[in-house]
Structures are given as C-alpha cells and as structure tokens.
Amino acid sequence: MNCIIIIYYFGTLFETDFTKETVKNMQRIIGISLLAALSLPAFCQKQVTELTLQQAVQQAHEHSSDARAARHNYRAAYWNYKYYKANYLPSLTLSSNPALNRAINQVTQSDGTVKFIEQNLLTTDLKLSITQNIAFTGGTLFLETSAQRLDLFSNHTASWQTVPVNIGYSQSIFGYNALKWNRRIEPICYTEAKKSYAETLELVAAEATRRFFDLATAQSNLEIASTNYANADTLYLYAQGRYNIGTITENEMLQLEINKLNEETNRLNAQIGVEDAMQSLRSYLGIHEDVELKVTLDGRVPAMQVPFTDALQLAFQNSPDIESMRRRQLQGESNVAQARANAGLKADIYLRFGLTQTADKLKAAYQNPLDQQYATLSLSLPILDWGRGKGQVRVARSNRDLTNTQVEQEKIDFEQNVRKLVLQFNLQARRVEVAARTDETAQRRADVARRLYLLGKSTVLDLNASITEKDKARRDYINTLYNYWSLYYTLRSMTLYDFERNRPLSENLETLIN
C-alpha cells in the first residue's frame, strides 16, 4: 500500500503545472520524494516473522483446524455424558392436552344400541409427574397428580375428575436393560473422549513439528543452494583466468561451468520449495496474513532416558486406545444381551395405584377420593420364527468374539509400538549430537577443500565431493532434529505424560465448556 502511495505521488508531481511561486519549493519537494523513494524496498517487503518450534506448537494448539475439531468433539462427548447422567436422576414434567370436540359421533347407549349424537364439548387437563429410572432392573417408577375438566356446551354443564396421587411402575422382565449397560459403557466413552482430546493436542504438535521442519529443510536448502551458487560462480570466474594461462584443462573449466548452472537450478527449485512449505505451515497454524515465516532451529534437545516399563505402564493407563478397546468389548457383550432379549420370551408389566374422584366443582372433586388400581401383564413368546432369533444371537456372539480377538492383537501391537518408540527415542538425543558434530566437520572440510582448490592443490572432483558431503550433513542434521521432536510428541501422545518435567499431561477442560 505504501508503494502505491509513493508511486502515485510521483505521478501527480509531474502532472502538475508549476508556477513561478512554486519553483523555489520544487527542489525541496523532489528531495523529500527521493528520500521516500529510497525507502521503497523497506515498504514493499513482506512482514517477516521469526518462529521457533515451541511457538509453532502453541500456535497450532490454539488455531489449527485439528485442534478446533478436537475441542468440538470433546464438547459433544461432554454433553452426551451429561445426557446419560440425567437418565438416572428424577425428572419433573408438567403436561396438558386440551381438546375441543364439536361433531356428530357414534355413541353407544345403555341398552347397547348405537346412535349418532351431536357432541359439543371441551376437555382440559393438567398433570404433574415425577419419574425415576431404576438402573438395576431397567424399569421406571413414577408419581403423578392430575385434574381434568369436561365442559358440555350443549347443556352448559361442567364436571371435574381429579387424581390426587398416582403411583406406578413399568418393567420389562426379560428385556434388554439399556440402563445397566449404559452405566458400564458411557463412563468409559467419556474417559476416552478426555484422553483423546489430550492425545490429539500432542498429535497436533507432531504435525506442526513436521511442517515446521519441512520449512526448516526448505530454507536450509535455499541457503545451501545460494551459498553453493555464489561459490560456484566465484570458482568459475577463477577457473576462466587459470584456463587462459593454461594451468587447467578445458574439461575442468567446463565441469565448473556445469556446477554453476546446476547450483543456479537448485537455487530456483529451493525458492519454490520454501514458498510451498511456508504456505503449508501458515495454513496449518491458522495464519491468514501473507507474512513471511522464518523458522529458528534450536539444536538443544532434552537429553533424557525413558524407562520402558514406566512408559508401558503409563501407556496402558492413559492411552485412549486402551479405553477404546474396553468400550468395544463391552459393546460386544451388550449386543449379545440385546440379541438374547429379542429372541426369547418377552414380558412387560405395568402397575398403577392411586386415588380418584369426580364432582361438579373442583374442591368437591378432592373430597372423599376413591382408590383405583390398574395392572397389566403382556407376554410374547416366538413359536416359529425360522431361526431368526437364534441367528441374531449367533451373529452377536461371533461379532463379540471377533472384537475380543482383535483387541487382544491390538494390545500386543500396542505394546510393541511402545517398546519400539521408547527404544528409538532413547537413542535419538545421541543421534542429534552426532549429526551436529558431523554437520560442523563437513562444513569445515568443504571450506578446506575450496581453499585447496584455489591454491591448485586439489581437483574439482574432491571439491564436488566435499560440497555434496556438506549439504548431506546439513540435511541429515535437520532431519535428525525432526525425528527427535516427532518421537518426543508421539511418545507423549501415547502415554499422556511429560517425561521432561516428570508429570502427567493436564488440560483445563472446564474452559472448553464455558
């Protein structure tokens, strides 16, 4: 924007018709404009933001799409758990179903005959009920009180029916007890959701680390390519002078020219790689501004050793994968129980006891109430279903056994993954140290090889070999650093434990709900 303003200012300056009174001020205006023009590169450059790995991880935790999705998933699991808990608490309900009936209907008379009679009536009612689910039996206990008014508009009369108190209970005797199974499964689901959220944050950190080091590698490649191109250009110019005096062959000079052209191509490719990696990192971190990111590498890594037994115990204790295995096994048992209930004898009972009375006035309808009882028992036994019920039970059992087999294998694989991860991580700090030393040594060797070539004491093949080793050592060092931090966050995601500070990973989940 500043560039546009300054250029526009120059354009309007030359389009102005100057008078004699303004001639003396022209030099001052041009001088100020030239000073502004000198600052054009500073205005036109992108904003450069330096970024460390820890800053990238923090940014990803707050703004990445994966982190936002994890927060939404946890909120959904939280409210689903609250809904489950509410099923075991008493509920209070107020209901009303008023109805107006003005029509000609069939009405059965006291002698058994049926007549069409015009009816014009209004019924209004109000009922207050308390229900409580019984998890042990799967039944429902309820307590209610109600009042109903009937208005007959044809003869201008009204009557009341009241139920001061009603106690009832409904129960499926041989049916599937969803309350019992939900009490065993739903807490595991919620625990799994909490652990999955913490695990996802560590996986987000691992993904941010990958993209961070992709950019670090791309920027390092650009730096290497720019340095190599500058050195190749210098050596080529130097070789031309030596060729002119006959101290090197034409083949050697042509080799140096090829090196220069190759390094120029590498530099162009590296520039494209930097833009791609920078865009990928900006997108994942939720940075929408077109800023230039410059990553800063810190070669220091925590030199710690993780005991395998501790890591394995923490992984089985904290990993959401273990909770998922437990949940799937219980769901398999639940499906078997449901299939058995649907295939066998079904019996439902409904009991209700209370008091009731009718009168023309509301107050009188509550005096001298009469007791009432109501009980039903419904039975259903399949006699011939062609094996459908038995087949459903066999399918549920097979799925349960398959799930158990899969879970056992997954536990073995899980333990092996933890073992391999711990072994690799415990060696990674030393690998970083070796890679850093190799990078430093290769850089020194390349400098020595370049000086020896300039002195005529080395061949171009030795020079190229030293450059190749230098570049490889630098890339290996960055890749080793990435492997360390990738293993670091992966180990944290599996154990949900901070081995560096020797404490469990904890997240303030209350802030996600409020």
pLDDT digits (tens, 9 = 90+) for 59-69: 999 999 999 99
- Confidence check: pLDDT of 445 > 70: yes
334-354 pLDDT tens trace: 999 999 998 888 899 999 999
- Confidence check: pLDDT of 29 > 80: no
Q: What is the mean pLDDT of the chain?
A: 87
- Confidence check: pLDDT of 11 > 60: no
- Confidence check: pLDDT of 12 > 50: no
Q: Which residues pair with 313 in a beta bridge?
A: none
Q: Give the pLDDT confidence score for residue 46 in this predicted structure.
A: 64
136-170 pLDDT tens trace: 999 999 999 999 999 998 888 999 999 999 999 99
Domain boundaries of the chain, sorted by first residue: 2-44, 48-80+182-329+400-513, 91-134+139-176+348-381
Strands (E), 290-345: 292-295
Report, in this order, helix, strand and coil percent for the chain, each rounded to 5: 60, 20, 20
- Confidence check: pLDDT of 25 > 60: no
Per DSSP, 366 falls in state G
CATH of segment(s) 48-80+182-329+400-513: 1.20.1600.10
Model-level pTM?
0.81
- Confidence check: pLDDT of 242 > 90: no
205-230 pLDDT tens trace: 999 999 999 999 999 999 988 988 88
∠ Cα 305 309 314 (to 5°): 95
Q: Give the pLDDT confidence score for residue 257 in this predicted structure.
A: 84
Q: Which two tokens stand for residue 6?
A: 């300054």
Average pLDDT over residues 496-512: 89
Q: Percentage of the chain surpassing pLDDT 70?
A: 91
d(CA 217, CA 211): 10
Q: Which two tokens stand for residue 226?
A: 């720019």
- Confidence check: pLDDT of 404 > 70: yes
User: For the ranges 32-41, 76-85, 177-186, which has the lowest average pLDDT?
Assistant: 32-41
Cα-trace Rg, the chain: 41
Q: Give the pLDDT confidence score for residue 45 in this predicted structure.
A: 55
Contact residues for 160 (Cβ-Cβ < 8 A; gap 6+): 147, 148, 149, 150, 358, 359, 360, 361, 362, 364, 365
- Please, what's the largest Cα pairwise distance for the chain? 138
3-state secondary structure of 88: coil
Q: How far is CA 341 from CA 120, 176, 361, 391, 392, in A?
A: 48, 5, 49, 13, 11
291-334 pLDDT tens trace: 899 999 988 899 889 999 999 999 999 999 999 999 999 999 99
250-275 pLDDT tens trace: 888 788 888 889 888 989 999 999 99
- Confidence check: pLDDT of 129 > 70: yes
- Confidence check: pLDDT of 9 > 70: no
- Confidence check: pLDDT of 234 > 90: no
The secondary structure of 20-48 as a DSSP string is: HHHHHHHHHHHHHHHHHHHTHHHHHSPPE
- In a 13 Å sphere around the CA of 509, the CA atoms on its Cβ side amount to 19
